[in-house]
Structure 1
């Protein structure tokens, strides 16, 4: 394939400050083989940057599993059966049966983990692979560059782990209902498709849908996964740019709207231009 034929994917920003130029790219955490290579403006921006910055190093599986055990698993002697209402347990068992997962295989996980497993199964049914996220491509194309992390697995999973039992049960039931209605696949696949076409309007519309409403899931996405983390990411990016330039790959939703990372950097005096 000629480079000119590689489609634009995601969203790419050029960030100027005090003579330094960095790039900000929106990633997704699932993928397909035909998503790669990324288009030339992205690969060229990565090639000329001094460092690669990601939310976290997705290769650090030991750190992830330690964090999962700390924030996503029950202490020995407890299972999800002890923490769900009878009706929620019944709905969970029905949802697990549909994907042929025995309750025994996930009962040591907290409800937020099980909800994310079920949504992940739904996404993979549509052909997207969690092992082919954009971060892996960026890492493989920046082997000789320093890697800097904005967060770590303990921090990220701790955000979910901070939900109390009632919130976790609601999060689980909301996601099961979303799977049953087809909403989970529509939103997840829609976001990946919008990323694959660099469709800014659709990305913004889906972000609005995911963060609007009175559900635990929407409030958690709006206030915590985005509202809390975006300012922290922006502050970390500013600290990195004070020392040098970088190619920064973060989840696509962090780039959207008046409270997105590009907007926050602009508020702090950075010149942020959207490449596409």
Structure 2
């Protein structure tokens, strides 16, 4: 039960981190058409090829069933890197981070109307009130991103981690769980409330958006993903919209892309590495494809076709 809850929190964290940046990405890069590719070969003279794979942080079998080119590249790679190294220590850190100190209750930080609406929403996701009552606001928002009925078993990123460990590959992460969670922990509480309230008041809208984004991912259509998420959240105030627009552009996307690119230099210098990050980290002038090209690598899109389900 503990491991399952931690994995769900981790998957929800990745989903939230993936969905929010799309708004800023679309706003800045909408005029720039992205290739219909989520899989790229990375080359540099004198070094074995490496691979960059854009993921979707969901358990949908259409996503977790790897296409033949992706599977072949993964199998032949010596090194695998996901956004975060997924292991027991990460799960324990996650479990500690999402809960408030004893006696500090979530109900004291959000209004009662939204708290009462939240309880059945999280109960439908198999998260009982005894645990919900101690969540931080941002952690409750993470769980709201999780589908009530999750198709498949584990999200793609966790599957890649499992395959890496079982395959004896050199497996690592491009950032720590503390670095990723700090993006939400350091968010002003009024912004956390705005985010959570929007999700509580309009759960069907978020669920629909997630389904549409997954469909676009399966079609390898990054442009459609950006179009789907190209507008500010209409359920937020103009001030909150502007704040999240800046936060997602700088903190969640641009800064992390640069961090990833910097930390990829060591594994890429050895070659034969398989890099898996959220698909929306790939396109745009500040995306990983562009940043790695600036670093002297040649990136070639591989137009893979997902296996039929």
Match of 2:222 in 1: 200
The DSSP-based 3-state class of the residue aligned with 1:45 is helix
Post-superposition offset of 1:23: 0.5
Q: Is 1:31–1:128's contact at 8 Å kept on the other side of the alignment?
A: yes
1:94 aligned to which of 94, 117, 126:
117
Match of 2:68 in 1: 40
Match of 1:160 in 2: 184
The DSSP-based 3-state class of the residue aligned with 2:175 is coil
Q: Is 1:194–1:203's contact at 8 Å kept on the other side of the alignment?
A: yes
1:229 aligned to which of 256, 278, 302:
256
Which shifted more, 248-257 or 169-178?
169-178
Distance 2:80 2:172 in 1: 6
The DSSP-based 3-state class of the residue aligned with 2:51 is strand
2:53 aligned to which of 19, 25, 32:
25
1:248-259 equivalent positions in 2, closer than 5 A: 248-259=275-286
TM-score by length of 1: 0.82
Q: 1:50 to 1:141 in 2, by over 3 A?
A: same
Q: How big is the alpha-carbon RMSD for the aligned residues of Structure 1 and Structure 2?
A: 2.6
The DSSP-based 3-state class of the residue aligned with 1:31 is coil
Post-superposition offset of 1:229: 0.6
The DSSP-based 3-state class of the residue aligned with 1:78 is coil
The DSSP-based 3-state class of the residue aligned with 1:109 is coil
Post-superposition offset of 1:41: 0.8
The DSSP-based 3-state class of the residue aligned with 2:84 is coil
2:158 aligned to which of 98, 115, 136:
136
Distance 1:256 1:268 in 2: 16
Distance 1:83 1:211 in 2: 22
Distance 1:211 1:225 in 2: 16
- Show CA shifts across 1:107-141 (max 9, x none): 11111111111221xx243x435x42112332344
Q: Is 1:210–1:221's contact at 8 Å kept on the other side of the alignment?
A: no
Post-superposition offset of 1:206: 3.4
Q: Give ranges in structure 1 of 5+ residues lacking alignment.
A: 1-8
1:49-60 equivalent positions in 2, closer than 5 A: 49-58=77-86, 60=87
Q: Give ranges in structure 2 of 5+ residues lacking alignment.
A: 1-35, 304-309
Match of 1:64 in 2: 91
